[in-house]
Structure 1
Amino acid sequence: MLNQRFPYAKEIFETVIENAYVWIVIVDANGKIIYMNDNYCRFCEVTREAVIGRHVTEVIENTRMHIVVQSGEEEIADLQYIKGNYMIANRIPIFADNKVVGAFGTVMFRDTKEWHEMNSHVRHHLSSIQSFLEKQEITGAKYTLNDIQSNSRVMTELKDKVKIIAATDSSVLIRGESGTGKELFAHSIHLLSHRSEKPFIKVNCGAIPEQLLESELFGYEDGAFTGAKKGGKKGKFQQADGGTIFLDEIGDMSLQMQVKLLRVLQEKEVEPVGSTKSFSLDVRVITATNRPLEALMEKNEFRNDLYYRISVIPLFIPPLRERMEDLEILVRYFLKKVSTRTGKRISMIQEGVMETLHHYHWQGNIRELENIIEAAIHLAKTDVITLDAIPDYIKKPAVFHYQQASLKEMVNEAEKNILIATINKYDGDKRKAAKALGISKSSMYEKVQKYELG
């Protein structure tokens, strides 16, 4: 009857099923295979002709299709271990005349990594919905990739990388100069991960006094020290259990604290100050720094083993002066943001202002740009931002003119620009940059410190 109404129905259905993204298997009431699409057959290294009529347990590892036929109950998004990978499978009984006559099974994601990546992709799109953001603010994270304004290729590639790594639980080390937006990336990674509904705990390791950092991170028991809160207190790691902890300015942590942190990361458990009991942890660790950790390691000021523990996935955020194609979109973004917050309407910005901003060096990066725009909005006499509203130091030439600089100054400026360009070319890998320039690693780190390149 169907073929009479739709003469190519068989060909249409076969084409759709064979080219479906999912893998498909159908069994009869006895658990014997009556259909299996080519994608699934190829994965199982069998031919369709060879599997038709065979019991499903003889073909598919750890299958439960025959059990679903017996129980008549569907199993949705169940983990199934096949050929060394966990896959996400659905199994649905087929009813006819009020009885189970077979079952239909699909594998939607070929492994759990594929599922997590798809989950991160969906979360990225959800992040633009206000209700989703309001929900996430409860966890402590509020910035997403949508808050990172950019047009440059390097930032697009960086965002794409974040979408991929968010699906993992690997430690991430975010490198970049002060003011480049390292914290925004940490927030984004958390909100794109499967931990997004769990806590996101931030700790600035450089802002907490050394004597307080241990109890702040790991907590303490009642009476652990003079002035301890009655009943004790959970540390940041315990507060982040199930979620993510973001350790900013990790390069400022003392060697003594580095040893204690390393133990927590290795053992995945924490022992509060004054306690004899350890508590297990399930925490993803994201760290950030603007300091040259490699140079600190050479001086024995940062532990090698801790470095390799926290930098499983390194991210380098380039400074604004190396991606000036992002300047205009950032200016427009901050104009709208600050104008909305202050209630002062700004309709436009003079072309001369944008030209001046393009010639400035932006040592303070995105944070400095936002401050400049905020100041300009307050100082603007009309609804147009003019050069009069821009601080004087911004208007000064950002480069040396030959007649105004000594030979040493010009050489230093040229060397600095070459270092910046080479380090950026190798995505922040200073060892590769040093090799390309024909200098030693120690020379590279000395120059990085000399020019404060982070």
Structure 2
Amino acid sequence: MNNNNQALVSPDLVQALDALDEWLVVVDAQARIVFLNQPYAHFLGLKRDEVYGQPVIEVIENTQMHRVVETGQPELSRLQEVRGRHMIANRYPIRQGGKVVGGIGTVLFHDTHEWRQMNTQIKALVSELDFYRRALDKEQTGARFHLNDLIGRSPQIQKVNEKIKKVAAGDASVLIRGESGTGKELYAHALHLLSERSRGPFIKINCAAIPENLLEAELFGYEEGAFTGAKKGGKQGKFQLADGGTLFLDEIGDMPLSMQAKLLRVLQDREVEAVGSNRLVKVDVRLVTATHQPLEKRVELGEFREDLYYRINVVSVELPPLRERREDIPALAEHFLNRLANRTGRRAPKLTAQALTRMLEYAWPGNVREMENAIESAFYLSQGHKISLQALPAALMEGLEVPEPVVYRGTLKERLAAAEKQILEEALLACDGNRLLAAKLLGISKTSLYDKLAKHLLNIDL
């Protein structure tokens, strides 16, 4: 301990604190370490005299001592991971004359063997909890995607996320709008998992994928013998299956008018009558719908009921197309590539600057779904650790101007110069414009490379 700290902690007190089973650290008003007892220093693998005066956040990982000093609020029984071990920490501010002048933190444990047993139990419980949470999400509720699973940090997506958080707690019907491929179903999943109904079922149905004559039975169920081919014992409909949870009707804009009237009646009365039955069954369902159709236009044309439109459109969430949030493209590309790498056991490749530039320029009429398919195609067509411009699907290359190869004719000196220029261009392109790497690749000095670039008036900067 240095002289300053000896003035703060007496030798007798140091001896007493070193004898504790608890690990202890004391910081000053600037969250710098002024004392560390020997058991804690031994665990951290440090000489305590060498850490005095250092910021605590640079010495102890995941510490929150600086926050206690800043806020003046104690933190009790907080889980903290240090050097791969989970432990419970208590942190208290130290006040003098009503002013916070430092903080003291303790880590609770008994002995190494018992701590290791406890740490193993904690890890097992955390793992088990995560397993059951995901199993519950997938099997019981049917919803799999949390809001944190959705990739995007653009202002447009952040605005959507905030709106989803605000409306999730209630029971209001939500209409999710957006072009095909923008992720409407994923947001329906996230909305359900944020709601008070998250422990209930999440049932989905695509209104455009089921023939009109079967849609009623799918939604409301049917009794045995209700029609030719009816299942013995009948079948519950999606409304009955979603009781106590959320029903997601995708592509509701394509629902036939006859079914719209029946759906409206169910939403108004909260009662379902199965096909072939004369018995009404109460249902408690939150309705979330999605469409890429301009419903207002369809209402004007008489193709969608106005009363149903207002019933499902209590809260409207508009998902932006990918072309309006291009800053999310690099993160989405990395996410898709990493997922493919995990699936195949292959190292995740990176997009070259040219390929990424083209993806940023492309309009993406199919939005995120089209981008995911394009990334998957390029992943399997690429060799090595780079995805080049040429590996992207043909649709992305349409309209892209590719310069015609230049053919040089003339004297030997002129043709040698042309060949040298082409070699320089190829080297620079192979190195993504990095001149130092290009010089090494060509086996010449950086100075020689610059001289040759100046000679051929080359200025390639990728």
Partner of residue 215, structure 1: 217
Partner of residue 186, structure 2: 184
Return the alpha-carbon distance in structure 2 between the equivalents of residues 304 and 348 of structure 1: 49
Partner of residue 235, structure 1: 237
Q: CA deviation at 1:392?
A: 2.5
Q: Is this contact kept in 2: 1:360–1:398, CA < 8 A?
A: no
Partner of residue 404, structure 1: none
The alignment-based identity, stated in percent, is 54
Give unmatched runs, 5+ long, in structure 1.
1-127, 400-454
Return the alpha-carbon distance in structure 2 between the equivalents of residues 131 and 238 of structure 1: 25
Aligned to 1:151, which of 138, 153, 156? 153
Return the alpha-carbon distance in structure 2 between the equivalents of residues 351 and 129 of structure 1: 38
Partner of residue 411, structure 2: none
Partner of residue 226, structure 2: 224
Q: Which residue identity lines up with residue 159 of structure 1 in the other structure? A: N
TM-score when scaled to structure 2?
Answer: 0.58
Report the RMSD for the aligned CA atoms in angstroms: 1.7
Q: Is this contact kept in 1: 2:172–2:314, CA < 8 A?
A: yes
Return the alpha-carbon distance in structure 2 between the equivalents of residues 231 and 380 of structure 1: 53
> 1:303/1:317 Cα in 2 relative to 1: closer, same or farther (>3 Å)?
same
Q: Which residue identity lines up with residue 354 of structure 1 in the other structure? A: L
Return the alpha-carbon distance in structure 1 between the equivalents of residues 277 and 327 of structure 2: 53
Equivalences for 1:228-377 in 2 at 5 Å?
228-377=230-379
Q: Is this contact kept in 2: 1:241–1:281, CA < 8 A?
A: yes
Number of residue-to-residue matches in the alignment: 273
- The 3-state SS of whatever aligns with 1:215 is helix
Q: Deviations over 1:373-415 (max 9, x none)?
A: 000110002121111211222123479xxxxxxxxxxxxxxxx
- The 3-state SS of whatever aligns with 2:191 is helix
Larger radius of gyration between Structure 1 and Structure 2 = 2
Return the alpha-carbon distance in structure 2 between the equivalents of residues 134 and 214 of structure 1: 30
Return the alpha-carbon distance in structure 1 between the equivalents of residues 274 and 132 of structure 2: 37
Q: CA deviation at 1:222?
A: 1.2
Q: CA deviation at 1:133?
A: 2.4
Equivalences for 1:387-406 in 2 at 5 Å?
387-397=389-399
Q: CA deviation at 1:129?
A: 5.1
Q: Which residue identity lines up with residue 374 of structure 1 in the other structure? A: E
Q: CA deviation at 1:132?
A: 2.2
Q: Which residue identity lines up with residue 144 of structure 2 in the other structure? A: K
Return the alpha-carbon distance in structure 2 between the equivalents of residues 293 and 204 of structure 1: 17
Q: Deviations over 1:30-76 (max 9, x none)?
A: xxxxxxxxxxxxxxxxxxxxxxxxxxxxxxxxxxxxxxxxxxxxxxx
Q: Which residue identity lines up with residue 225 of structure 2 in the other structure? A: G
TM-score when scaled to structure 1?
Answer: 0.59
Return the alpha-carbon distance in structure 1 between the equivalents of residues 225 and 259 of structure 2: 22
Q: CA deviation at 1:338?
A: 1.5
Give unmatched runs, 5+ long, in structure 2.
1-128, 402-462
- The 3-state SS of whatever aligns with 1:173 is strand
Return the alpha-carbon distance in structure 2 between the equivalents of residues 342 and 291 of structure 1: 37
- The 3-state SS of whatever aligns with 2:247 is strand
Q: Which residue identity lines up with residue 357 of structure 2 in the other structure? A: E
Q: CA deviation at 1:249?
A: 0.4
Q: Is this contact kept in 2: 1:172–1:285, CA < 8 A?
A: yes
Partner of residue 134, structure 2: 133
Q: Is this contact kept in 1: 2:340–2:348, CA < 8 A?
A: no
- The 3-state SS of whatever aligns with 1:274 is coil
Q: Which residue identity lines up with residue 229 of structure 1 in the other structure? A: K
Return the alpha-carbon distance in structure 1 between the equivalents of residues 130 and 325 of structure 2: 28
